[in-house]
């Protein structure tokens, strides 16, 4: 990890932690460099809703003190991390991108936040999102949209668009998002960074403000697969505060499964899923073909497979997720915290508060979900969607009988223009068509940057694996990451303006066409 | 409870009281069909889904945390102690304990922090049991499931209800307290039977250790589903659910009222509307709260934040084994013990009420110890069900052997009945052993010799009365008892004096 970024700082999370733990770089200087980047970049990106400069500096000083005393501050020593603003932070505004939580200060830290602090990470701020994580462009934030660092006329994807843009622009090396139907992977693809949705239950949801509880999962954004794995290692593990939390054996995925060996996928059986390619734009389809070639070249056996059941995933998702949301969001009633719009009686106060506090997409989903759960409709909608969910899980299970991992597009398109889909919810929902199945099944999936379209916008390739299959997923993702280095690069984006060059940066100057050819 | 309530007389309607409805229609030929839903707060140390204290009567909003306040991002974690108590209740009610799951019951109300209640819906932990009542009838149990309690709202303003309140205060200490809801089959046919069911169920809940069964404090809350039909019909009429029944007395009154109301409607050709009704304790009547059409659509769906619950065999076996005797078995045991120890061939009927009281108050050990020590069962039951029961809380802490010793002193004539009661009252109020207390009160009874001497002295001092007594004027025995009492300053036992007189008379 020799590459240096801003002001001579190490750029990747792994390199920062290594350097801070060794005492060769101070956490304080790391955090100052990144706060400076935020000052420079964020006014034109709007990735952050809150910047915690003082907290981050105090945290950095504490890390430096530990190092000076010869103690180990932890695996993320001095690494600046941004949090999607639906993760509770004690005493710090946590808005979910909504007016309804105006003025509310959580009295507790989410479990992931506690784990980050315990690992020596520095929380530098809270990032923008579609309101209550409902959206695919971050345009549904009550506080205004986030812009794509590669092209400010385009969306960064969503709902974790702020976290994706923050990492892509070099303002932070790591960020956390939440993924209910693709909200980590799709913005990662749009912004050209790595975004991972872990197996449901591997990361505690305690302190994650719920959208759809059976689908929500917290996961990392990073500039490299190994950094994503490093962050996942820190945040995962059993939490007694979350009944759905799994007791995963504490293997260190970052070290074991992201080796620099070109043969790491040797012998793996990888399926290229037709349903995760059909209907994608040409540039995305072309990159998928190159990704398949690259994996073959690296020693995997790649075959095209069809899992027809995946065609029903989006429909099932848009019943189950709103149904759970309609219940999860009932508590924002003006009685206890957040916004209250006074009215003559209780019911009117509830209605007035919710009418003023929620944006149109949130209202749309609450209504959809309420309808889907209503007496007389439950079986036809929610009940059937749950059965589809089982069918999809079974179909995946059948595929994994003979395949180790699956590959497909993360999103059917690259980042679209601001405003292009705001008026057309259905076309916006279609943005999630490749990602929702993993949430329904509870499986892990990761988006890895893999080339660009003709406009220079990043393309993401998605790797899927069975439940708790993070190890094999990361091996395949690492192989794609290595292969992507020989593609025409991810455009400069924030990097040009920050002068940043990170590990995993593409080698410049390669022409299209060289890609994917066996070395 | 008072003599004007016909239900207070041994559970039987007062004789001579006409069963006439309000409108003058006779209730003859009609019967009530009643099913009860009983909510029971579990006595766990902590709440159902968080570590907050489960405690009644604390300063408002002191036993709260992000979880029981339903703050954004918080998640429930099931309390194993609550599950175990629910299993104890299910076992005691002869239910099947099954794999179960939790659902969300969605409706808006300010005392419910999440605006949904976590409850068991189509897969309750306890299914299909029964409860036998002391009169020999059996009431089926549909289910006994786990759910969380809500907070408590106080509405300020004239009405005391949410409509028209100037403002409302919410105390969330109760939010998330574990409840078990016990739903009976509609097997109950009268107000008396409903009261007997609720009383017996309360005894069982207390005996399992799951609840303190205090209706007045709301730790046991009863709703009644009431319909009426012609005797002999096997069809169910349209039912009304009656809420706000805060005592056994209210339960009985509300069912009686509701039965008369519905019979009046049906007898005059009308039809009963399915609705939820509120019992007004002061007016003694039920009033409509909401109709079937206004009923909430709770939009139940599986609670995604909790995993299914499947107690294994060893847990179930452990719970069953740790369950003590239930009230019916304890009553039977006391009756048998008393009958065996009685001189007579069978136990007097009046004693069965005393047995019920003793078991209800958990004073079994006192009676068992006394009877085992050779005390006559009627004395043991009387002292336990009357004098000890008057201070039940202290009595449950009384040393059974001290109680037996006291009754032994009374039976052996060392203490008169009056003295024995006074000693017992002292034992209950301040503790101590009966001999010491009796001595301190100067109650020590005369020895046999001293008593015989006192009687002889009384006889020789009153020769005329003695002659009349000898001639058969029995009432003069009381005269001599009085003389002896006077001479011994009350230390003599009246019965012993009479016995000695008889012996002297020959």
Give the whole-angstrom CA distance, residue A364 versus residue B139. Answer: 48
User: Distance (Å) from the C-alpha of residue B298 to the closest C-alpha of chain A?
Assistant: 8
Phi-psi region of B323 (alpha: psi -120 to 50; beta: other; left: phi over 0): beta
Q: Are residues A224 and A293 in the same domain?
A: yes
Give the whole-angstrom CA distance, residue B270 versus residue B277. Answer: 18
Q: How many CB atoms lie within 10 A of CB B499?
A: 15
Task: Name which of A208, A214, A241 is nearest B304 (Cβ-Cβ).
Answer: A214
| Cα angle, residue A503 at apex, residues A502 and A504 outer, rounded to 5° | 110
Question: Is the pLDDT confidence value at A495 over 90?
Answer: no
pLDDT at B412: 84
Q: Are residues A299 and A440 in the same domain?
A: yes
Q: Are residues A178 and A267 in the same domain?
A: yes
Q: Which residues does B300 contact at the CB level (< 8 Å), separation at least 6?
A: A373, B103, B104, B105, B106, B121, B122
Task: Name which of A207, A214, A336 is nearest B69 (Cβ-Cβ).
Answer: A336
> Reduced to 3 states, what is the DSSP secondary structure of residue B13?
coil
pLDDT at A514: 34
Q: Which residues in B lie closer than 8 A to residue A333 (C-beta atoms)?
A: 108, 110, 115
Give the whole-angstrom CA distance, residue A514 versus residue B354. Answer: 98
Residue A110 near chain B (CB below 8 Å): yes
Q: Which of A311-325, B152-166, B377-391 has the least mean pLDDT?
A: B152-166
Q: Any idea where the domains of chain B sit in the sequence?
A: 6-297, 325-440, 448-505
Q: Which of A213-227, B139-153, B409-423 has the least mean pLDDT?
A: B409-423
Q: Which residues in B lie closer than 8 A to residue A334 (C-beta atoms)?
A: none
Interface test with A, best of B299, B300, B306, B307 (most A CBs within 10 A): B299
Q: Which residues in B lie closer than 8 A to residue A331 (C-beta atoms)?
A: 70, 72, 113-115
In a domain, A377, yes or no: no
User: Distance (Å) from the C-alpha of residue B119 to the closest C-alpha of chain A?
Assistant: 14
Q: Are residues A301 and A413 in the same domain?
A: yes
pLDDT at A274: 97
Outline where DSSP puts E strands in A33-139.
Answer: 48-51, 80-84, 122-127
Give the whole-angstrom CA distance, residue A137 versus residue A40. Answer: 23
Residue B66 near chain A (CB below 8 Å): yes
Question: Is the pLDDT confidence value at A112 over 90?
Answer: yes
User: Distance (Å) from the C-alpha of residue A430 to the closest C-alpha of chain B?
Assistant: 25
User: Any idea which residues of A carry the catalytic annotation?
Assistant: 84, 159, 183
User: Distance (Å) from the C-alpha of residue A323 to the closest C-alpha of chain B?
Assistant: 9
Q: Which of A399-413, B100-114, B413-427 has the least mean pLDDT?
A: B413-427
pLDDT at B353: 86
pLDDT band at A474 (very low <50, low <70, confident <90, very high): very high
In a domain, A263, yes or no: yes
Is the CB of residue A296 less than 8 Å from the CB of residue A329? no
| Average pLDDT value for residue range B375-388 | 92
Give the whole-angstrom CA distance, residue A212 versus residue A210. Answer: 6
Largest CA distance in chain A: 74
Strand partners, B131: B139
Is the CB of residue B210 less than 8 Å from the CB of residue B144? no
| Average pLDDT value for residue range B188-216 | 94
Q: Which of A9-18, B61-70, B217-226, B268-277 has the least mean pLDDT?
A: A9-18
pLDDT band at B298 (very low <50, low <70, confident <90, very high): very high
Q: Are residues A308 and A326 in the same domain?
A: no
- Interface A:B, Cβ pairs < 8 A: 98
Task: Name which of A207, A243, A374 is nearest B305 (Cβ-Cβ).
Answer: A243
Question: Is the pLDDT confidence value at B103 over 50?
Answer: yes
DSSP letter string over A215-253?
T-EEEEEESSHHHHHHHHHHHBS--TT-TT--------H
- The verdict on a CB contact (< 8 Å) between B106 and A205 is no
Mean pLDDT of chain A: 91
Question: Is the pLDDT confidence value at A2 over 70?
Answer: no
Strand partners, B224: B36, B242
Q: How many CB atoms lie within 10 A of CB A330?
A: 22
Q: Are residues A266 and A350 in the same domain?
A: no
Mean pLDDT of chain B: 89
Give the whole-angstrom CA distance, residue A182 versus residue A178. Answer: 9
Is the CB of residue A14 less than 8 Å from the CB of residue A230? yes
pLDDT at B372: 92
pLDDT at B34: 97
Question: Is the pLDDT confidence value at A152 over 70?
Answer: yes
Give the pair of three-digit tokens for residue A29: 């200087």
Its ipTM equals 0.92
> Reduced to 3 states, what is the DSSP secondary structure of residue A203?
strand
Q: Which residues in B lie closer than 8 A to residue A347 (C-beta atoms)?
A: 108
Q: What are phi and psi of B451, to 5 degrees?
A: -65, -45
Q: Are residues A388 and A459 in the same domain?
A: yes
Q: Which uninterrupted H or E stretch holds B155?
A: strand B152-156
Q: Are residues A279 and A321 in the same domain?
A: no
Question: Is the pLDDT confidence value at B447 over 80?
Answer: no
> Reduced to 3 states, what is the DSSP secondary structure of residue B92?
helix
pLDDT at B78: 98
Q: Which residue of A has its CA nearest to B163?
A: A345
According to DSSP, residue B444 is labeled P
In a domain, A509, yes or no: no
Q: Which residue of B has its CA nearest to A379?
A: B301
Task: Name which of B71, B78, B106 is nearest A106 (Cβ-Cβ).
Answer: B71
Q: Which long-range contacts (CB under 8 A, 24 or more apart) does B270-273 make?
A: B271/B238, B272/B227, B272/B228, B272/B237, B272/B238, B272/B239, B272/B240, B273/B238, B273/B240
Q: Are residues A87 and A23 in the same domain?
A: yes
To 10 degrees, the CA torsion angle through B169, B175, B181, B186?
20
pLDDT at B16: 40
| Average pLDDT value for residue range B4-12 | 34
- The verdict on a CB contact (< 8 Å) between B301 and A327 is yes
Q: Are residues A240 and A327 in the same domain?
A: no
Q: Which residues in A lie closer than 8 A to residue B113 (C-beta atoms)?
A: 331, 336
- Of A279, A278, A281, the closest CA to residue A307 belongs to A278
Q: What are phi and psi of A353, to 5 degrees?
A: -65, -45
User: Distance (Å) from the C-alpha of residue A343 to the closest C-alpha of chain B?
Assistant: 12
* Residues present in chain B in total: 506
pLDDT at B22: 59
Q: Which residue of A has its CA nearest to B49?
A: A241
Question: Is the pLDDT confidence value at A5 over 60?
Answer: no
Residue B470 near chain A (CB below 8 Å): no
pLDDT at B449: 82
Q: CA neighbours within 13 Å on the CB side: how many for B169?
A: 8
In a domain, A368, yes or no: no
Whether the upstream peptide bond of residue A159 has omega within 30° of 0, thus cis, is yes
Q: Are residues A86 and A223 in the same domain?
A: yes
pLDDT at A271: 98
CATH code, domain with A443: 3.90.1300.10
Give the whole-angstrom CA distance, residue B399 versus residue A53. Answer: 68
In a domain, A39, yes or no: yes
CATH topology of domain B448-505: Arc Repressor Mutant, subunit A (1.10.10)
Q: Are residues A241 and A175 in the same domain?
A: yes
Q: Which of A253-267, B106-120, B212-226 has the least mean pLDDT?
A: A253-267
Q: What are phi and psi of B16, to 5 degrees?
A: 85, -10
Residue B71 near chain A (CB below 8 Å): yes
- The verdict on a CB contact (< 8 Å) between B75 and A323 is no
Query: Quick one: A18 exposed, middle or buried, by C-beta within 10 A (0-12, 13-18, 19+)?
Result: middle
In a domain, A516, yes or no: no
Task: Name which of B72, B113, B305 is nearest A244 (Cβ-Cβ).
Answer: B305
In a domain, A370, yes or no: no
pLDDT at B413: 78
Q: Which uninterrupted H or E stretch holds A458?
A: strand A458-464
Range of the domain at A344: 317-363
pLDDT at B443: 78
Residue A358 near chain B (CB below 8 Å): no
| Helix ranges (DSSP H) in B376-493 | 377-382, 392-395, 400-411, 417-430, 434-440, 448-461, 463-470, 476-488
Question: Is the pLDDT confidence value at A135 over 60?
Answer: yes
pLDDT at A1: 34
Is the CB of residue B42 less than 8 Å from the CB of residue B227? no
Give the pair of three-digit tokens for residue A85: 């603003």
Is the CB of residue B245 less than 8 Å from the CB of residue B202? no
Q: Which residue of B has its CA nearest to A372?
A: B299
In a domain, A455, yes or no: yes
Is the CB of residue B123 less than 8 Å from the CB of residue B101? yes
Q: How many CB atoms lie within 10 A of CB A461?
A: 30
- The verdict on a CB contact (< 8 Å) between A324 and B74 is no
pLDDT at A504: 38
**Domain tally, chain A:** 2
Question: Is the pLDDT confidence value at A509 over 50?
Answer: no
According to DSSP, residue B165 is labeled -
pLDDT band at A505 (very low <50, low <70, confident <90, very high): very low
């Amino acid at each position: 990890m020799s590459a240096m970024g801003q002001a001579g700082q190490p750029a990747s999370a792994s390199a920062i932690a290594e350097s801070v733990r060794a005492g060769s770089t101070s956490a304080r200087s790391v955090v100052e460099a990144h706060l400076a980047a935020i000052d420079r970049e964020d006014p034109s990106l709007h990735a952050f809703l809150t910047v915690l400069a003082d907290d981050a500096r105090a945290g950095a000083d504490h890390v430096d003190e530990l190092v000076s005393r010869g103690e180990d501050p932890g695996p993320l020593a001095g690494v600046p991390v941004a949090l999607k603003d639906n993760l509770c932070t004690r005493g710090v505004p946590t808005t979910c991108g909504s007016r309804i939580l105006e003025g509310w200060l959580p009295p507790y830290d989410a479990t992931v936040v506690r784990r980050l602090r315990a690992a020596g990470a520095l929380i530098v701020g809270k990032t923008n999102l579609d309101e209550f994580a409902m959206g695919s462009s971050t345009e549904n934030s009550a506080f205004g949209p986030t812009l794509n660092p590669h092209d400010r006329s385009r969306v960064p994807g969503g709902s974790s668009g702020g976290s994706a843009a923050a990492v892509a622009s070099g303002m932070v090396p790591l960020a956390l998002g939440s993924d209910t139907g693709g909200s980590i992977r799709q913005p990662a693809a749009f912004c050209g960074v790595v975004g991972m949705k872990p197996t449901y239950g591997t990361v505690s949801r305690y302190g994650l403000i719920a959208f759809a509880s059976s689908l929500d999962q917290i996961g990392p954004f990073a500039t490299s697969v190994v950094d994503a794995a490093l962050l996942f290692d820190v945040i995962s593990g059993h939490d007694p505060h979350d009944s759905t939390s799994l007791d995963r054996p504490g293997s260190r995925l970052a070290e074991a499964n992201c080796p620099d060996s070109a043969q790491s996928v040797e012998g793996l059986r990888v399926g290229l899923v037709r349903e995760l390619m059909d209907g994608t734009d040409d540039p995305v389809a072309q990159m998928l073909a190159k990704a398949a070639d690259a994996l073959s070249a690296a020693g995997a056996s790649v075959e095209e497979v069809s899992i027809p059941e995946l065609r029903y995933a989006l429909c099932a998702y848009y019943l189950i997720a709103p149904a759970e949301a309609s219940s999860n969001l009932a508590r924002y009633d003006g009685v206890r915290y957040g916004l209250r719009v006074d009215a003559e009686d209780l019911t009117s106060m509830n209605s007035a508060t919710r009418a003023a506090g929620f944006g149109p997409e949130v209202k749309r989903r609450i209504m959809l979900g309420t309808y889907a759960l209503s007496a007389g409709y439950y079986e036809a909608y929610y009940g059937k969607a749950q059965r589809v969910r089982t069918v999809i899980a079974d179909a995946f299970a059948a595929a994994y009988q003979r395949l180790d991992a699956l590959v497909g597009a993360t999103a059917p398109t690259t980042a679209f223009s601001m405003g292009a889909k705001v008026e057309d919810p259905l076309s916006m929902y279609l943005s999630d068509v490749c990602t929702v199945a993993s949430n329904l099944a509870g499986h892990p999936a990761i988006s890895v940057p893999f080339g660009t379209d003709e406009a220079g916008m990043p393309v993401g390739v998605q790797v899927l694996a069975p439940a708790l299959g993070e190890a094999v997923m990361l091996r395949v993702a690492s192989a794609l990451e290595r292969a992507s280095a020989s593609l025409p690069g991810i455009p400069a984006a924030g990097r040009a303006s920050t002068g940043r060059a990170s590990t995993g940066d593409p080698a410049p100057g390669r022409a299209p066409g060289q890609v994917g050819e066996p070395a | 409870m008072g003599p004007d309530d016909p239900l207070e007389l041994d559970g039987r309607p007062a004789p001579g009281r006409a069963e006439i409805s309000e409108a003058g229609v006779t209730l003859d030929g009609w019967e009530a069909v009643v099913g009860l839903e009983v909510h029971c707060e579990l006595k766990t140390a902590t709440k159902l889904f968080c570590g907050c204290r489960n405690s009644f009567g604390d300063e408002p909003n002191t036993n709260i945390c992000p979880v029981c306040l339903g703050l954004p991002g918080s998640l429930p974690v099931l309390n194993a102690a609550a599950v175990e108590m629910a299993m104890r209740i299910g076992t005691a009610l002869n239910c099947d304990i099954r794999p179960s799951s939790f659902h969300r019951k969605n409706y808006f109300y300010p005392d419910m922090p999440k605006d949904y209640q976590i409850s068991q819906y189509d897969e309750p932990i306890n299914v299909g049991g029964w409860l036998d009542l002391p009169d020999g009838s059996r009431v089926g149990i549909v289910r006994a499931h786990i759910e969380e309690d809500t907070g408590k709202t106080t509405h300020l303003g004239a009405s005391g209800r949410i409509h028209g309140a100037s403002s409302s205060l919410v105390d969330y200490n109760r939010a998330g307290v574990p409840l078990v809801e016990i739903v009976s089959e509609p097997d109950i046919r009268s107000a008396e039977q409903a009261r007997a069911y609720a009383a017996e169920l309360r005894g069982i809940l207390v005996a399992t250790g799951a609840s303190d069964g205090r209706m007045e404090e709301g730790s046991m809350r009863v709703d009644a589903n009431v319909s009426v039909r012609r005797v002999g019909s096997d069809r169910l009429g349209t039912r009304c659910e009656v809420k706000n029944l805060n005592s056994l007395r209210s339960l009985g009154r509300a069912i009686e009222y509701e039965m008369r109301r519905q019979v009046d409607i049906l007898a005059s050709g009308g039809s009963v509307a399915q609705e939820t009704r509120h019992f007004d304790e002061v007016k003694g009547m039920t009033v409509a709260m909401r109709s079937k059409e206004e009923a909430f659509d709770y939009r139940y769906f599986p609670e995604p934040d909790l995993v299914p619950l499947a107690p294994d065999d060893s847990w179930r076996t452990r719970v069953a084994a740790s369950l003590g005797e239930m009230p019916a078995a304890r009553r039977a045991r006391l009756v048998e013990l008393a009958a065996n120890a009685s001189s007579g061939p069978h136990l007097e009927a009046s004693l069965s009420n005393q047995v019920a009281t003793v078991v209800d108050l958990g004073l079994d050990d006192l009676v068992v110890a006394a009877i085992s020590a050779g005390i006559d069962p009627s004395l043991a039951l009387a002292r336990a069900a009357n004098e000890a029961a008057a201070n039940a809380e202290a009595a449950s802490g009384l040393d059974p052997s001290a109680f037996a010793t006291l009754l032994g002193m009374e039976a052996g004539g060392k203490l008169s009945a009056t003295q024995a009661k006074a000693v017992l009252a002292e034992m209950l109020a301040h503790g101590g052993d009966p001999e010491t207390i009796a001595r301190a009160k100067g109650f020590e009874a005369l020895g046999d010799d001293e008593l015989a001497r006192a009687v002889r002295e009384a006889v020789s001092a009153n020769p005329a009365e003695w002659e009349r007594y000898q001639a058969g004027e029995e009432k003069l025995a009381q005269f001599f008892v009085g003389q002896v009492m006077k001479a011994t300053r009350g230390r003599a036992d009246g019965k012993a004096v009479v016995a000695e007189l008889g012996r002297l008379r020959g």
